[in-house]
Amino acid sequence: MTDPVFRRLNVLWDLPDDWCEERHITEILAAIEERFVEMGLAERFVFVVTSVADNLPMAHKERVIVLQTSDEGHEVPAFASDVFMTFKNYPPFGGLPGNLRVFPLGCNKDVAEKPGPDMADRPIDVFFIGRQEFRDEFFAATDHAFGDLRADISKAPEFRKGLSLEDYADKLAHTKIALSPRGVSHETFRTYEALRAGCVVIAQRQIPCWWTKGWPVIEVDDWQTIGELVRAQLGDPGAMQMRAEAGRKWWQDKLSPAAVADYMIAEIASQLLER
């Protein structure tokens, strides 16, 4: 991959090839660049985008802002005290340093946004495809839970290997209820992709943070009663349509690159006022 280049924003990239968060973070930074030019801050900071939690290619307490991604271990990065601010996805389990903020993972760069029909016209009642690793309980609970429904539950051999990415996006666009069990980490692209696609989302309990407070995702602590929960949702089409619309709006207002950029800019401005 060729690192994205910005006209006015100073960005250093320290990432592996083919990283899945590329589009989400690039669009966030593009929105920040536009606002920072207006605010006269474009030359004030250097943004470092990294997947590591220890050493940085550049550290400075007054100039460097880090966007840390791909940290499925939910760590507090060791460099947090060496930079002006750090923003990371995969929220840490404990408390955060005063200059560390979290932001939503967003959608996989290769999963396109596709328009879907209204809830009543979607042919798939409940959908999931993913690796079995870390999901034995989920697959055991769903194995015989949906016999009378139009269910599409399957195992993928590897990450991004079960369906073509185009077919996966199309399935989401035609799904009523998308299930989002955790894998190795608590946060998963699937939750955000399904909200964007207008699905009702049932996900494993999340680490509480600013964008999950009051969101329309149905969170569960385990999957043992998933059949009953899915049927309860399907039994009230009007409520499902409202929840799906609320999820789509939540994506636009809280989770999209433009919304995340607004959040980051506000937090950076607040941190500047405190200095």
Residues 146 and 86 in one domain: no
CATH of the domain at 175: 3.40.50.2000
In a domain, 4, yes or no: no
In a domain, 58, yes or no: yes
pLDDT digits (tens, 9 = 90+) for 18-63: 789 999 999 999 999 999 999 999 999 999 999 988 889 899 999 9
Residues 98 and 155 in one domain: no
Q: Report which residue type is found at 166.
A: E
pLDDT score recorded for residue 94:
83
Residues 152 and 184 in one domain: yes
Residues 141 and 193 in one domain: yes
| List of the chain residues with pLDDT < 70 | 1-2, 158-162
How many CB atoms lie under 10 A from the CB of residue 162? 15
In a domain, 234, yes or no: yes
List Cβ neighbours of 111 (8 Å cut-off, separation of 6 or more): 165, 168, 169, 172, 189, 193
Residues 150 and 234 in one domain: yes
- The residue segments making up the domain with residue 72 are 10-103
pLDDT score recorded for residue 18:
78
pLDDT score recorded for residue 179:
98
In a domain, 166, yes or no: yes
In a domain, 269, yes or no: no
pLDDT digits (tens, 9 = 90+) for 169-190: 999 999 999 999 998 898 999 9
